[in-house]
Amino acid sequence: MVYVTSPLAVGVFLAFVLGVLALSWWLGRGATSASGYYAAHGQIHWFVNGIAFAGDYLSAASFLGICGMIAFYGYDGFLYSIGYLAGWIVALFVVAEPLKRMGKFTFADALDARFQSRGIKLAAAISTLVVSLFYLIPQMVGAGVLIKPLLGFSHASGVLMVGIVVTIIVVTAGMVSTTWVQFIKGGLLVAFCLLLTVMILRRGFEVPTTLPVTPVSVAEVERQGPTIVDPDWPAATWLQVQLPGGAVHTYRRLPDGRARLTQVVTTGPDGTRVDGVPQGLGDGQHDLTPIGAVTALPGGVTRTGPLGPMAFLRTFNEATIETWTSERRELSGGRIATVYTPRTQTGADLLQPGASPTFRGVRSSALFDKLDFLSLMLALFAGTASLPHILIRYYTVKDVMAVRKSTVTGIGAIGLFYVLTLYLGLGAMTSGALDVTNTNMAAPLLARSFSEPLFAVISAIAFTTVLGTVSGLILAASGAVVHDLLTHVVGMDLTDDAKVRAGKIVAVGVGIVAMLLGVAFEKLNVSFLVGWAFNVAASANLPSLVMLLFWKRTTKEGIVAAILVGMASSLGWILCSAQAFKDVYGWPPETAPVPFSQPGIVTIPLGFLVLVAVSLMTRPSERQMASASGS
Amino acid sequence: MRIPRVALWLFALYLLVYVGFMAVAAFAPGLMATTPLAGLPLSLLYGLLLIALAFVLAALYLRLAR
């Protein structure tokens, strides 16, 4: 769709950015020590930290990705919500407290507390960097993808803007400013999602008077104008009619002899065309029609009026909805057409798992397809407690009690948010405002269907969402490089001041790398990258975190081996998966050597296995054990 | 590094409910489509339960582990 830049949205966004920068600068005057820069002096209030958890965790992928996925496929987006939230249970009950007791600034601190081994520091720092960069790519690309429709700037300028603002936030006051930015963003995000949900419930459902989904007879199509014979569009499937203004309507023939109107986007040497006419809003131009509608409501009514939260879901379950499928067709002359065809689906079907490509496996009868689903759900469950940028937040509060309280606050805020995304997604699906070509725009467009100012604010919040998460990631990476690598692995003897300076320099470096990645991967479909980051984090970090706590015979060699094997195997698996073949390299997915795309279900247990095996092989002698316990 | 015993029990309980969800979704999809309560499908009810349960167990933990 063509988006008209809203000056209001640009204004609100700039006000947000200036506010955040001013806040960082103001806070920056107080954070000059290493403990201030990396851990906010351990003095953040548990409630602020809890909301900051939400601000850190709820990335653009959560907000825009999940809303979009629910808006286009229904229940499958909610599966991500369920998995992402469940991961916090691992964080709270298993990982958080020992991590807090053992560590100081980084996740490597905690792993290494018992051994003082450079090998562990090195392995943990590498895994932190790999996971952080993996997670940074979708955030940065997301910023670029969004800035064009929302604010009218180019992809690269979006990436640069986010990169520069975030680097300034991190460099001015490290964890202190990062925490407050995340707190504000987390609070705003939940508050505005709540507001949107209330508006959705008050609006209820309404069946529009004209629906593209309704099939028409061939005779009726032919009355609109002369039909076209085009070898690119075989008459067995397609029926094209020339309209007076120059546009061509393409109908897909149905088995019952009738035909259904589609929307066709063609790209090629003559630019992007919609239904045969150049895309645009001016004279002689044409743009895609916004989509998303209820086609029938229970009891045959045409509008429901305001609904309660339960009645909303129940009504949706009994309604029928217009959803769209897309099909890519190669035409002559190097042109590529994407055909969007509407269909009716029951709400009940949309509220079942397995409608989207990511979770299709759950409806398949093949065992490997089901394993793909189970593997992703396992990685989401195990990944949260292994994400470095989440773990470092445990060092910003004073004690174990504050760790617990802030995690419970975080779970409350994040859980509420995920319930709200269900309403946002289903509300967007039936809002009549969606862009059929861009799932990520579902939440902002839903806001636009209510009012323009709301659209401006939601767009600005979507950007702040990127800022909050990226600043946490950059900080985690800078801690890993300076605190783990430079100080403990290389053995540099840095003063407190030098540690802060080095941290800032590294943050600038990571910021630049993030911007380059964001520009380089512009074309990459990013929605699954976050899922991959969870797989790598869980495979590399979780086995050693857990075994260190529960198995006395864990050795340092075991930990190093588990981190490296977990990381290498999950990364390798991902790079050999059908999903990577199709979406990253553009190779035929059938040729991928691994049987399913999500590695977690294999590589997480593999990490545990390697840890146990290597630990048993490198068991210290009885005498060493005795002297160790005696010291 | 001791973790309160109650934390591990609560964790085990949640894990059980979560694994139950994965198992039903993957191996008994028909069950997910039934509407056992308030006209809502089990898929939604179970998902909302998992979200609510996470918060309830976390809050319970604050009370139990002092």
In contact, A127 and A541? CB cutoff 8 Å = yes
pLDDT band at residue A351 using 50, 70 and 90 as cut-offs: very high
CATH number of the domain at A433, please.
1.20.1730.10
CB contacts, 8 Å: A93 with chain B: 3, 7-8, 10-11, 14, 61
Residue A445 resides in a domain: yes
**pLDDT tens by residue, A272-307:** 888 888 888 877 788 888 888 898 888 888 888 899
Cβ distance of B3 and A98 shorter than 8 Å: yes
Return the pLDDT at A630: 40
**Residue at a domain's end among A330, A346, A363:** A363
Residue type for A445, please? Answer: L
Is A585 part of any domain? yes
Q: Which residues of A touch B51 (CB under 8 A)?
A: 81-82, 85, 415, 418-419
Quote the pLDDT of residue A214: 81
The string of pLDDT tens digits covering residues A116-137 is 888 888 888 888 888 888 888 8
* One domain for residues A114 and A177: yes
Q: Stretch A77-90: mean pLDDT, rounded?
A: 92
**For residue A626, pLDDT beyond 60:** no
Contact A411 B55 (CB under 8 A): yes
A361 to chain B nearest CA, in Å?
A: 9
- Tell me, yes or no, whether A33 lies in a domain: no
Q: How confident is the model at residue A625 (pLDDT cuts 50, 70, 90)?
A: low
Closest approach of B46 to chain A, Cα-based (Å): 10
Query: Based on the domain organization, do A160 and A61 belong to the same domain?
Result: yes
Domain segments of chain B as ranges = 5-64
In 3D, which of A368, A337, A166, A343 has the Cα closest to residue A267? Answer: A337
Residues of chain B with Cβ-Cβ distance to A94 below 8 Å are 3, 7-8, 11
Residue A453 has pLDDT above 80, yes or no: yes
Asked if residue A26 is part of any domain, the answer here is no
- On whether the CB atoms of residues A427 and A200 are closer than 8 A, the answer is yes
Closest-CA residue to B43 (of B56, B27, B30): B30
Does residue A31 belong to any structural domain of this protein?
A: no
Asked if the structure places residue A153 within a domain, the reply is yes
Same domain for A375 and A344: no
pLDDT category at A527 given cuts 50, 70, 90 is: low
**Residues above pLDDT 90, as percent of chain A:** 20
Q: How many domains does chain A have?
A: 2
A354 in Cβ contact with A76 (< 8 Å): yes
Residue of A nearest to B17 (CA): A86
Question: Domain check: are A561 and A449 in the same one?
Answer: yes
Q: What angle do CA A314, A319, A320 make, to 5 degrees?
A: 150
* Residue spans of alpha helices (H) in A257-353: 309-318, 347-350
Same domain, A411 and A493: yes
**A405 in the same domain as A339:** no
Residue A363 Cα, gap to closest chain B Cα (Å): 7
The domain boundary, picked from A311, A332, A363, lies at A363
A236, A185: one domain: no
Chain B residue with the nearest C-alpha to that of A114: B1
Residue type, A598: Q
**A315 and A411 both lie in a single domain:** no
pLDDT for A7 equals 84
Alpha-carbon distance of A246 to A120, in angstroms, equals 67
Q: Assess whether A410 and A544 both reside in one domain.
A: yes
Which among A75, A92, A418 is the nearest to B61, CB-wise? Answer: A92
The mean per-residue pLDDT over the stretch A201-217 comes to 85
Does a structural domain hold residue A8? no
Chain A residues whose CB is inside 8 A of the B37 CB are: none
Same domain, A61 and A163: yes
Range of the domain at A443: 43-204+365-630
Confidence of residue A526 (pLDDT cuts 50, 70, 90): low
Burial A406-420 (b: 16+ CB within 10 A, else e): bbbbbbbbbbbbbbb
What is the C-alpha separation between A280 and A139, in angstroms, rounded?
29
Is there a contact between B58 and A408 if contact means CB atoms under 8 Å apart? yes
- Cβ–Cβ gap A89/B57 under 8 Å: yes
Tell me: do A274 and A157 sit in the same domain: no
Q: How far is B45 from chain A (nearest CA, A)?
A: 10
Indicate whether A518 pLDDT > 90: no
Residues A72, A442: contact at Cβ < 8 Å?
yes
Q: What is the pLDDT of residues B16-44, one digit of tens each?
A: 999 999 999 988 888 888 888 888 999 99
A400 & A549 share domain: yes
Taking 90 as the threshold, does the pLDDT of residue A268 lie above it?
Answer: no
Specify the pLDDT at position A631.
37
Out of A298, A330, A363, pick the residue that ends a domain: A363
Strands A263-268 and A336-346: antiparallel
Is A15 part of any domain? Answer: no
A451-455 — which CB contacts under 8 Å span 24+ positions?
A452/A6, A452/A8, A453/A8, A454/A196, A455/A6, A455/A9
Query: Taking a C-beta distance cutoff of 8 angstroms, is the pair A474, A28 a contact?
Result: no
Q: How many CB pairs under 8 A join A and B?
A: 119
